[in-house]
Amino acid sequence: MKTISNSFFLGRLSIKQRLPLLICSLLLVCIAIYGFANYYSLRKADLTIGRDRLHSITAQMNTSFSQVTALYISNSTSVSKQPSVIQFLKSGGKMSQTEALGELNKLKTDSTWVLAELLDSNLKPLSSIGKNNIASGLDMKEVIASANLNPDSARITRLYPVKANAYYPLISEVSENGHVLGYTIAWKSILTTSKAVAAFSQFVGMGSSFFAGNRDGSLWTDFIQPVSPPFKPGQKPGMVDYKDADGNAMIVDLQPIAHTALLFGVAVSEKNMLNDLGRFVDWIIIIGIVIIVIGIIAAWMMSRSITRPLDELIKLATAISQGNYSQTVPIDQYQRDEIGRLANAFNIMIGQVSLSHHELENRVEERTAQLATVNKELEAFSYSVSHDLRTPLRAINGYSVMLKEDYEGELDSEGKRIVKNIIDNAKMMGQLIDDLLAFSRMSKKELTQAAVDMQFLAETVVRDLLQHEQADKYQINIGVLPPAVGDEVMMKQVMVNLVGNAIKYSSKKAAPLIEIGAEDAKDKTVYYVKDNGAGFDMAYGSKLFGVFQRLHSQEDFEGSGVGLALVKRIIEKHNGEVWAEGKENAGATFYFSLPKF
Amino acid sequence: MNNNSVEILLVEDNPHDAEMTIRSLRKVNLANRLIHVKDGAEALDFIFARGIFAGRAVENKPKVILLDIKMPKVDGIEVLRQLKSNEATRTIPVVIMTSSKEEQDIITSYNLGVNSYVVKPVDFEGFAKAVSELGCYWLIINQASD
């Protein structure tokens, strides 16, 4: 038969638990897939948008820088073209000294200014205002060369580290008729206060930080102090991904500042770009929990709507198993789902079962009645046998005896022998009828169940039976016989038959020996009666316990052939077994087992 | 025989059984005042002095009744029931003599108050012995109680 199998785990859960679990896991998987997919596309979009924004911010700022540098350059160019400056340089610093100094002062456009100088064509400083010592350690030749100036042009070159500061020069060539007379240089600091940078960062947003440095990567600042750049030095302009000191993913957009050899960069962390994403994940989790809770509640209600009718079916099935067929499953007429159909099928089944049950009951009743009739007929039959068969037999016997008594003188020896045979046979038939009746009566007799003292029974039976025999001829040993449970009268019959047989079949031996004993066997006790008499051939052993079956002739040993059949029937009625072992002319042992007391 | 001086009433439908019973009783000289009736109806008529026995002195009760069970018309059990339920006849000893070893018959008989119950053996000697012993016993008992 096929059984409805389930996995080990699911099989332990009721349907009421299984459905919510299933729905909960399905929802979880859906939400997870939806969440991850959206997370990644959102992240990608966020990053793209963030980069665009970064680029435009950087470009905007760079534009402001370019405007400032353009202003610086036009200012510087204008100073370098002043006649007093030209005069001053031409004269080797001897003429127009005051006017030139006045022009030089015009280079002090803002607070980042630190030093302004006028150099002659040999790069010798002829005049200066501000901190003189800044330029003292620098190779001015290199400074001017790096500017790569065209005649009458101005340029900001690169940053130079001076102590803990970074300065850049604004250089203009002073010339007359294509002849280089000298240079004006204004040194400006790129650094400002951390407060100013922080304020600016806040203005720009995105947790931005700023960098400025030489294109060759030789010096970088964060506008507060020189720093070793977190990204690879010597970077080309463009977007660069890198990790900061704390391992955060950062993006910097580097752009060249116009009119300079400088790069400007705005850096933001990726986390800042993905700010929305965190909120998205939070929402997904909250919405997910809400959906799952709703899903579980819905599933629970659904499975309850399934299991409630099932519970009723179970209740009903239990009632049916207890023989109550009066109930049916209440069905909503419009319930067309599987449950409704099951309930319907169930009701039909109840009807069928109830019908079959009644049919069966009727049939059993009918059969019982038939059996009772047969039984009664049988009883009447055995009554007739008992009464009617014995009556003519008694007459045969009686008249034979009368013949013998009243006409003894007139009968010769043959006549007397014949009369004797008639009497003996009539007696024999009477015995047969009695035995047969006892046997048939046994089957309808009710057992009484009580403790039977088998020891006492054996001793009594032996004593009774020996009354009719030469008692001193027999040696009968009775072992220890445990008590049994059963019908004492029937047990006595068993003992009488077996011991009687043992006496009968050993009676022709010189020293008849009979042993009555018992052995222990698991939950039963095996009793036995053993003799050293005529025994029997084991080949015919199966015939021993049949009715009217005999292994010895009537001449050798008298008997009706009912005794052992009766023993067998009694023992089987007591849930026991009988069997025998024997050998011709070497004795027999009859065993019977009975449940332990 | 005078119906008024009957000591043994034998109720037996089978003539052979009756013959053997009478023979056994005769051997011990108990058959002199015996009357044999063929069924229960006749037995009741005799006891209550009805029918063919009308005119008999009803107070002269038999000393013992030997009663077969299986008989035509009225069976032995019915006879026993009527005898034992009647105040006048209750004290007459009744010996059921039957071929039947049916337990139900034995139980019913004792419940109705039978005095003895004898299963007729096939063996004639045993039968004769039982009959004569019972006859003696009840006749003597009954005489003593009179």
Q: Is residue A104 part of a domain?
A: yes
For residue A429, the distance in angstroms to the closest alpha carbon of chain B comes to 9
- Judge residue A7's burial from the number of C-beta atoms within 10 Å of its C-beta, 0-12 exposed, 13-18 middle, 19 or more buried: exposed
SS (H, E, C) A36-71: HHHHHHHHHHHHHHHHHHHHHHHHHHHHHHHHHHHH
Q: What is the structure's pLDDT at A528?
A: 95
Of the three residues A187, A218, A249, the one that is the final residue of a domain is A187
List chain A residues with CB under 8 Å of B120: 390, 394
Mean pLDDT over the full length of chain A:
84
pLDDT surpassing 90 at residue A113: no
For B69, name the nearest residue in chain A, comparing CA atoms only. A387
Collect all residues with Cβ–Cβ distance below 8 Å to A551 and sequence separation of at least 6: A536, A537, A540, A543, A544
Structure token pair of residue A225: 């102090």
Which residues on adjacent β-strands are paired with residue A579? Answer: A591
Q: Are A151 and A80 in contact (CB under 8 A)?
A: no
CA angle B23, B126, B34 (to 5 degrees): 30
Split at pLDDT 50, 70, 90, the class of A365 is very high
Which pLDDT score is estimated for A2?
47
Taking the CA of residue A401 and the nearest CA in chain B, the distance in Å comes to: 7
The CA-atom distances, in angstroms, between A235 and each of A57, A66, A148, A220, A242 are 19, 20, 22, 11, 12
pLDDT score for B146: 42
Is A406 part of the contact surface with chain B (CB cutoff 8 Å)? no
* Residue of chain A with shortest Cα separation from B12: A391
User: Same domain, yes or no, for A465 and A588?
Assistant: yes
DSSP assignments along B21-69, one per residue: HHHHHHHTT--TTEEEESSHHHHHHHHTT-GGGTTS-TT---SEEEE-S
Across the range A74-90, mean pLDDT stands at: 88
Q: Do the domain assignments include residue A98?
A: yes
pLDDT 10s digits, A278-298: 787 888 889 888 988 888 888
The pLDDT tens digits for A367-386 are 999 998 888 887 777 767 76
Task: State the CATH number of the domain containing residue A493.
Answer: 3.30.565.10
Q: Residues of A with CB below 8 A from B24's CB? A: none
Smallest Cβ–Cβ distance between A387 and the set B23, B70, B127 belongs to B70
Domain boundary (A132, A158, A187) is at A187
Strands A577-582 and A113-120: unpaired
Q: What is the DSSP letter of A388?
A: I
| Spans of all domains in chain B | 3-141
Residue among A100, A20, A83, A99 nearest A293 (CA):
A20
Per-residue pLDDT, averaged over A238-260, amounts to 85
CA A205 to chain CA centroid, Å, is 52
Q: Is residue A11 part of a domain?
A: no
* Structural domain containing residue A549: 448-595
Which H/E stretch holds residue A117?
A: strand A113-120
Q: Residue A1: its pLDDT value, please? A: 45
As a whole number, mean pLDDT of residues A70-76 equals: 88
Note whether A508 and A495 are same-domain residues.
yes
Taking an 8 Å cut-off on Cβ atoms, the answer to whether B127 and A395 are in contact is no
Last residue of a domain, one of A245, A273, A301: A273
User: Which of A395, A430, A431 has its CB closest to that of B16?
Assistant: A395
Q: Does residue A115 contact residue A189 with C-beta atoms inside 8 Å?
A: no
User: What's the pLDDT score for residue A497?
Assistant: 92
> Which of A397, A402, A437 is the closest to B122 by Cβ?
A397
Q: What is the CATH number of the domain that holds A243?
A: 3.30.450.20
Considering the domain B3-141 in this protein, what is its CATH number?
A: 3.40.50.2300
Please name the residue that has the structure tokens 């009783």. Answer: B25
Residue A430 lies in a domain: no
Nearest to B100 among A386, A392, A429 (CB): A386
Q: Does the beta-carbon distance from A387 to B100 stay under 8 Å? A: yes
* pLDDT value of residue A494: 93
Interface of B to A at Cβ within 8 Å reads 14, 16-17, 19-20, 23, 70, 98-103, 120-125, 127
Kindly state the percentage of chain B with pLDDT values over 90. Answer: 16
Q: Are A148 and A116 in a shared domain?
A: yes
- Tens digits of per-residue pLDDT, A10-35? 667 777 777 788 888 888 898 889 88
Backbone angles phi, psi at A5, to 5 degrees: -105, 160
CA distance A324 to chain B (A): 40
Question: Where are any strands of DSSP class E within A261-319?
Answer: 262-269
Q: How far is CA A559 from its chain centroid?
A: 74
Rounded Cα–Cα distance for residues A495 and A570 (Å): 11
Q: Could you tell me the pLDDT band of residue A440, with boundaries at 50, 70 and 90?
A: confident
pLDDT at position B145 is: 45
Instruction: Give A295-337 pLDDT, tens digit per residue.
Output: 888 888 888 877 777 787 788 888 888 877 777 777 665 566 7
Beta carbons of A226 and A164 less than 8 angstroms apart:
yes
Residue B97 zone, left/alpha/beta (φ > 0; ψ -120 to 50; rest): beta
Verify that A458 and A578 share a domain, yes or no: yes
* pLDDT for A504 beyond 70: yes
Establish if A348 belongs to a structural domain.
no
Residues of A in Cβ contact (< 8 Å) with B127 = 394, 398
Q: What is the mean predicted confidence (pLDDT) over A572-587?
A: 90
Question: How far apart are alpha carbons A294 and A27 in whole angstroms?
Answer: 10
Interface touch A398/B127, C-beta < 8 Å? yes
- Is residue A425 very low, low, confident or very high in pLDDT (cuts 50, 70, 90)? confident
A-chain CB neighbours of B70 within 8 Å are 387
Counting the structural domains of chain A, the total is 3
Backbone conformation region of residue A238, classed left if phi is above 0, alpha if psi is from -120 to 50, else beta? left
pLDDT, tens digit, for every residue of A187-217? 988 888 889 889 888 888 878 888 888 888 8
Q: Angle at Cα B41 formed by Cα B17 and Cα B86, nearest 5°?
A: 110
Rounded Cα–Cα distance for residues A173 and A151 (Å): 6
Q: How confident is the model at residue A591 (pLDDT cuts 50, 70, 90)?
A: very high
Lowest mean pLDDT among A56-65, A321-330, A536-545: A321-330
Determine the average pLDDT of the residues in A564-590. Answer: 90
For residues A121 and A205, state if they share a domain: no
Residues A146 and A262 in one domain: no
The confidence score (pLDDT) of residue A441 equals: 74
What lies within 8 Å, CB to CB, of A382 at 6+ separation is A437, A440, A441
**Residues A203, A152 share a domain:** no
Return the pLDDT at A532. Answer: 92
* A149 lies in the same domain as A226: no
Place of tokens 């043959």: A414
Position A171 in a domain: yes
Q: What is the pLDDT of residues B33-71, one digit of tens each?
A: 889 999 899 999 999 988 888 888 888 888 889 999 888
Contact B101 A434 (CB under 8 A): yes
Is residue A130 domain-shared with residue A206, that is, in the same domain? no
Do A82 and A181 share a domain, yes or no?
Answer: yes
Residues A220 and A121 in one domain: no
